[in-house]
Amino acid sequence: MDQDELLSNSFYKDVVSFLEVVEKTIDINPNLITRLKYPRRAIRVSIPVRMDDGSMQVFRGYRVQHNHVLGPFKGGIRYHPNVNLGEVSALASLMTYKNSLLNLPLGGAKGGVKVNPNSLSRVELEALSRRFATEIGPFIGPDKDIPAPDVGTNPETMAWIMDTFSLETGFSQTGVVTGKPVEIGGSRGRLSATGLGVVYIAEQALETQRKEISQSTFAIQGFGNVGSHVAIEAHAMGAKILAVSDIKGGIYNPRGINISELIRYLKEHRFVEGFPHTNTITNEELLELDVDVLCPCALESVIHEKNVNKVKAKIIVEGANGPVTPQALDYLLKNNVLVVPDILANGGGAVVSYFEWVQDISWLFWKEQEVREKLKKVMVDTFTRVWNFTKTYQKSKDKDNLRLSAMAIALLRLEKAMKLRGQI
């Protein structure tokens, strides 16, 4: 693996730089930081697909396995035009830290295919997914590496991957992926888990400022699986959703958007634009709204040094991976904005993926209410640990830097595990 290639990616470079920041803040073995700067393994594959018109296209695919000291590799697969090795490697490392922070017995991995899934037919997407599963098949499995949905993929994608893997190994292996349909071994509550986890964390963040979620306003950038469920769950708890957006733009209503009606509207119109009784806004304008809670749930680096001075939200909960750049975070902290980091905020999907994996290998399945209760306990307990760490250990200049605290807790657990296994 070309280390210079990885470090040429700004997102990956930001993740590595933050490791070095944490290293200077807490007493930790420097060998750990050296080990964690680079993934254990990066797999690149070519994915030939015969298109509907008879032509052949070859797509680029990746599976990066960052660290598995705590357990099998675990992480999503995304289909997006901007997928590249650096991005996937950064996301894989964040999964390592997320699983460590959440006390899950899992390592970190990520996968992706450089493709616009909206430009492919369902038949082409299935062919792409099955061939990708074949190419990475030797490196995944219930005890090796367990993929899950991410940007541009969904339960159906996981069903195709599971079926392909099972056919090639000779028997049904439901535990090879999570985020599957319930009918073939998926967990109840998995589809909404990441968004629900974001709402549980937003509720805790609001409580630190003596506010109730039922009296709060939200703006949500990204209305895919994560953002839509943030809206659904927050709305159900009484929050007022002022704005939401998707890839084509956003909608805004200062009196609040009826999320139930919006969900029905999307079944016919696909995108949020044109929803009645709302004003059209851009994704950039949504980030600048004066709300209690801003949830960036789309892609990384959307809040950066060029637009951070326009952000008015009091609390930012990172539903996406890395939506706030390090430079923007410094500005926000100086202006007393509470930023809940991605490895904590969007951990709900990882938690319920773990629950699904446990259910698959034990063949014992839980009711949805049980899943939600277990998820809430993990998310609330983890937020409390991070908040207490912040108040106990950070210096005044690092006031309320939850990203620093979350990463410190994650690294300290990894340090102990790697020492016990003789790896550092």
* pLDDT band, very low/low/confident/very high, at 124 (cuts 50, 70, 90): very high
Q: How many CB atoms lie within 10 A of CB 144?
A: 14
Strand partners, 241: 218
Nearest-10 crossing angle of helices 190-208, 348-362: 140
| Cβ-contact 113, 83 below 8 angstroms | yes
Q: How many CB atoms lie within 10 A of CB 200?
A: 25
Question: Is residue 340 within 8 Å of residue 201, measured between CB atoms?
Answer: yes
- In this prediction, residue 322 carries a pLDDT of 86
Q: What is the pLDDT of residue 2?
A: 66
Q: Which of 325, 327, 320 is nearest to 343 (CA)?
A: 320
Asked which of 259-273, 365-379, 382-396, 401-415 is least confident by mean pLDDT, the reply is 382-396
pLDDT in tens, 30-60: 999 999 999 999 999 999 999 999 999 999 9
List CB contacts of 59: < 8 A, sequence separation 6 or more. 46, 47, 49, 113, 114, 115, 128
Residues 172-189 have a mean pLDDT of 96
Calculate mean pLDDT across residues 139-151. Answer: 95
Catalytic annotation on 110? yes
Distance of CA 305 to the CA centre of its chain: 22
Distances (CA, A) of 376 to 103, 222, 370, 382: 14, 23, 10, 10
pLDDT of residue 321: 86
Q: Is the pLDDT of residue 324 over 70?
A: yes
Alpha carbons 152 and 340: distance in angstroms, whole number: 24
Q: Domain residue spans in the chain?
A: 3-173, 192-345
**Sign of the torsion formed by the C-alpha atoms of 70, 73, 77 and 80:** positive
Measured distance CA(123)–CA(109) in Å, rounded: 27
State residue 220's pLDDT score: 98
Query: How does residue 9 score in pLDDT terms, banded at 50, 70 and 90?
Result: confident
As a whole number of angstroms, the distance between CA 345 and CA 316 comes to 10
Nearest 10 degrees: Cα torsion 272, 274, 278, 279: 100
What integer best gives the mean pLDDT of the chain?
Answer: 94
Name the catalytic one among 110, 114, 240, 314: 110
Same fold, 3-173 and 192-345: yes
Report the pLDDT value the prediction gives residue 400, as an integer from 0 to 100: 76
The pLDDT-based confidence of 341 (bands split at 50, 70, 90) is very high
Rg over CA atoms, the chain: 20
- The residues facing 50 across adjacent strands are 56
User: For 50, left (φ over 0), alpha (ψ -120 to 50), or beta?
Assistant: beta
Q: Which two tokens stand for residue 403?
A: 């990203």
pLDDT at 398 over 60: no
> How far apart, in whole angstroms, are the C-alpha atoms of residue 298 and residue 334?
25
The architecture (CATH level 2) of 192-345 comes to 3-Layer(aba) Sandwich (3.40)
Using alpha carbons only, give the angle 99, 43, 109 rounded to the nearest 5 degrees.
Answer: 5
The reply to whether CATH 2.50.20.10 applies to domain 3-173 is: no
User: How confident is the model over 220-276, as pLDDT tens digits?
Assistant: 999 988 999 999 999 999 999 999 999 899 999 999 999 999 999 998 888 999 999
What phi, psi does 251 have (nearest 5°)? -130, 150
